[in-house]
Amino acid sequence: MAWSPEKTEVKSWNEWDTLRHAIVGRADDCHIPPEEPALDAKVPEDSDMRGQWGRRPQETIDRANELLDNFADQLRKRGVRVDRPVSIDHSQPVTTPDFHTDSQFGCMPPRDVLLTVGHEMLEATMSYRCRWFEYLNYRPLLKQYWEEDPNFRHEAAPKPRLTDADYHPDYLSEKIGDAKRLEWAAEKFFVTTEEEPLFDAADVLRFGKDLVVQHGFTTNLKGIEWLRRHFPDHRVHTVNFPGDPYPIHIDATFTPLRPGLIVNNPQRRLPEEQREMFHKNGWEIVDAAQPAHNTPPPLCYSSTWLSMNVLVLDPKTVCVEKSEVYQAEQMDKLGMEVVEVELRDAYAFGGGLHCCTADVYRDGECEDYFP
Ligand code: ABU
């Protein structure tokens, strides 16, 4: 049956079918969390964020919210239904029997927390202590979907304990250096251990019957095995990108645009032996264009490769950040209509256009693209 804006239905099997309903994050009350093992390992050694924590300056929150509100309106004007999370108080500390941290993170970006696979939305375990309660920002929406859509499955992965046993202490020195980090990434030695299943939703890409999951800082092998057992009708593939010294989240590294076409970060190429399933099935993997910026904006966790963190609206249309002119030019050459969206001043709150959204409904069914 065709999608109707009057009726809530959760369904999304891939990253590119026509988007009808999405969640867009908010910058409200976003905090730079205090030091903790997994977060520290991700903050680049030369970053202006080292040693800082506390509520982000109000003017930056207001500016990020202005951009996120505008993006939500742009999507609505194109016929997409957009919902927004309800912020909890992120200044509250988190204490469990296993750990304590003095503040939380925010309700940006939803893509890290919520994984939509078919009629299910799954809350990820997360691996940062400051993000342990982040799912609460989305609970009012998930409650609404559950009440309005009888086929919606609201699932939550087991909450991890996040004791010190979850983290390799080797990563906790400030000055490891990129050469060492790259060596460790190539050996698949990441900050998180195999103590218990850990994954962030943004490490997963959906290709119909196949889920492609990045093993890195935020997702461990037990997390991937947990996903495999949780989705028994899917094939779950583990991938690595050894060129990334800070490997979290696959969506600034490997970006499917439509069946048969993926853009790959040229500094984080998928190793040859992991390309087989794509090549055998006629998929093309092209290098992404260079970012337009040499550095991320101030107080930003992410790399300049948010340039390729695009949101595909349908197999011919893609939202690209307005200042990312090289990425937009490449999308145009690849036959995509480009929708420019201004978002760079919100990057610091957790990412780009893909990060700041989560799918609720896309057209299409679960296809097998790699038979
Ligand atoms: N959340 C995407 C960030 C990835 C990166 O920093 O490149």
ipTM for the assembly: 0.97
- 245 Cβ closer than 6 Å to some ligand 1 atom: no
> What atom of ligand 1 comes closest to residue 253's alpha carbon?
7
pLDDT in tens, 100-147: 999 999 999 999 999 999 999 999 999 999 999 999 999 999 999 999
Arithmetic mean of pLDDT, 136-159: 98
Q: Is 348 in the pocket of ligand 1 (CB under 6 A)?
A: no
What pLDDT shows up at residue 358?
A: 98
Q: Whose CA is nearest to atom 6 of ligand 1?
A: 302
Which residue ranges form the domains of the chain, and what is each CATH number?
19-362 (3.75.10.10)
Closest C-alpha to 37, from 98, 119, 114: 98
Name which residue sits closest to atom 7 of ligand 1, judged by CA. Answer: 303
pLDDT for position 264: 98
Can you say whether the dihedral through the CA atoms of 60, 65, 71, 74 is positive or negative? Answer: negative
Round to whole Å and give the CA distance between 264 and 213. 15
Q: Residue 229: pLDDT band by 50, 70, 90 thresholds?
A: very high
**pLDDT tier, 299 (very low <50, low <70, confident <90, very high otherwise):** very high
Burial of 158 (0-12, 13-18, 19+ CB in 10 A): exposed
Q: Is 355 in the pocket of ligand 1 (CB under 6 A)?
A: yes
Give the residue numbers marked as catalytic: 200, 249, 355
Mean confidence (pLDDT) of the chain: 96
| H or E element, residue 229 | helix 221-230
State residue 13's pLDDT score. Answer: 98
pLDDT value for 295: 94
pLDDT(155) > 90: yes
Question: What pLDDT does 108 receive?
Answer: 92
Q: Comparing C-alpha atoms, which of 204, 243, 212, 251 is closest to residue 351? A: 251
Is the minimum distance from the CB of 353 to ligand 1 under 6 angstroms?
no
CA of 309 to the centre of ligand 1 (A): 8
Which pTM was predicted? 0.97
